[in-house]
């Protein structure tokens, strides 16, 4: 559910639509459509069947709806991860009692940034430089090649781990 009509890539107007939200308030649904989200790794994902509800104060992503569409999720250590098989599609960071999506909304051809931190800057340069090591990025930062904002610690990178995996031969495997 989203209150921002300009974030929708596509939408279909509805004649009548009402949603009951957590505080038992009824909100009118104006349209249903798709929103594009640029994830924490810079990959653009499309959320479909998003309800445009101008009366909301915040965007809401239903974990139940994601689960119905074959996605899995886990929350541990203040981080929520949405999966499709073993691939992490989206991540959220816990702030208070809510998980905030790590990413931004894509409107037209521009991305509207929702967060700006040293960790985001570090993760962005890590991806831009072909998943360069934290040590290599520190050297480039000291040379002034990665902008004026400092480098933070590099979080666990799923893409780096997947890139280092290789298929092993089963022909030399000894049966049990």
What is the C-alpha to C-alpha distance for residues 89 and 44, in angstroms, rounded to an integer?
Answer: 10
Q: Global pTM?
A: 0.57
What is the C-alpha to C-alpha distance for residues 20 and 142, in angstroms, rounded to an integer?
Answer: 53
Dump pLDDT digits (tens) for 2-27: 999 888 888 888 776 788 777 788 88
Splitting the chain (176 residues) into consecutive groups of 10 residues, what average pLDDT does each group show? Answer: 89 78 82 88 85 87 88 93 87 90 76 56 78 84 76 73 63 59
Dump pLDDT digits (tens) for 84-105: 888 888 899 999 988 988 888 8
């Amino acid at each position: 559910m989203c209150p921002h009509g300009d974030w929708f890539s596509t939408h279909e107007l509805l004649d009548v639509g009402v949603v009951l939200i957590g505080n038992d308030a009824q909100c009118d649904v104006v349209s249903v459509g798709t929103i594009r989200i640029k994830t924490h790794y810079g990959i653009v994902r499309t959320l479909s069947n998003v309800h445009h509800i101008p009366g909301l104060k915040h965007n809401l992503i239903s974990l139940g709806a994601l689960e119905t569409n074959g996605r899995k999720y886990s929350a541990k250590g203040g981080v929520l991860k949405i999966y499709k098989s073993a691939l992490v599609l989206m991540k959220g960071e816990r702030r208070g009692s809510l998980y905030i999506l790590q990413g931004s909304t894509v409107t037209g051809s521009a991305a509207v940034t929702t967060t700006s931190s040293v960790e985001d800057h570090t993760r962005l340069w890590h991806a831009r430089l072909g998943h360069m090591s934290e040590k290599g990025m520190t050297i480039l930062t000291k040379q002034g090649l990665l902008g004026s904002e400092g480098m933070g610690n590099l979080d666990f990178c799923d893409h780096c781990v997947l890139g280092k995996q290789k298929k092993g031969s089963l022909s030399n495997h000894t049966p049990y």
